[in-house]
C-alpha cells in the first residue's frame, strides 16, 4: 500500500476497523446504467449469487446497462481500491459503507450494502 493510500485508510478507519476489514471477506456485484453505477458488497458467495441474479433479471439493466461480479476479496482491499481512485472529498462515499458493512457483520446481520459509485 502506498504511504498516501495508507494514510487515507488509517485516518478513515480505526486500527480495530482496519484489522476487521482486512479479515472480512466480501463478494461484490456491480451494475451500471448509462448514467450511473452501483455495487453491492455481499457477506457470502450465496448472497452474491442471489444479488447477481436479481440484477441480471432487472429489465432496465438487461436492456440499457450491464452487470458483473468480482472474485472474493477482503473488505479492506475493496476499500483501498476505491480510495485509490476517489478524490479525498469523496472518500466517505466508500468509507461509510465499509463501516456499515463491519457493523452488520459484528451484529450478526445479513444483507448486502449497496454503494453508489457515480
pLDDT in tens, 16-75: 999 999 999 999 999 999 889 999 999 999 999 999 999 999 999 989 999 999 999 999
pLDDT category at 87 given cuts 50, 70, 90 is confident
pTM of the predicted model as reported, rounded to 2 decimal places? 0.88
Contact 16, 3 (CB under 8 A): no
Across the range 91-111, mean pLDDT stands at 94
Domains contained in the chain, number: 1
Decide if pLDDT at 90 tops 90.
no
Half-sphere exposure of 17 (CA within 13 A, CB side): 17
Question: Can you give the residue range of the structural domain that contains 80?
Answer: 3-116
Amino acid at each position: 500500500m502506498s504511504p498516501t493510500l495508507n494514510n487515507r485508510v488509517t485516518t478513515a478507519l480505526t486500527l480495530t476497523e482496519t484489522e476487521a476489514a482486512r479479515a472480512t471477506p466480501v463478494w461484490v456485484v456491480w451494475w451500471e446504467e448509462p448514467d450511473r453505477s452501483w455495487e453491492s458488497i455481499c457477506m457470502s458467495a450465496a448472497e452474491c449469487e442471489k444479488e447477481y441474479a436479481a440484477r441480471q433479471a432487472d429489465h432496465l439493466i438487461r436492456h440499457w446497462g450491464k452487470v458483473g461480479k468480482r472474485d472474493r476479496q477482503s473488505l479492506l482491499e475493496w476499500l483501498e481500491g476505491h480510495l485509490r481512485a476517489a478524490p479525498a472529498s469523496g472518500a466517505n462515499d466508500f468509507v461509510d459503507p465499509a463501516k456499515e458493512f463491519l457493523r452488520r457483520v459484528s451484529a450478526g446481520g445479513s444483507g448486502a450494502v449497496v454503494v453508489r459509485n457515480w
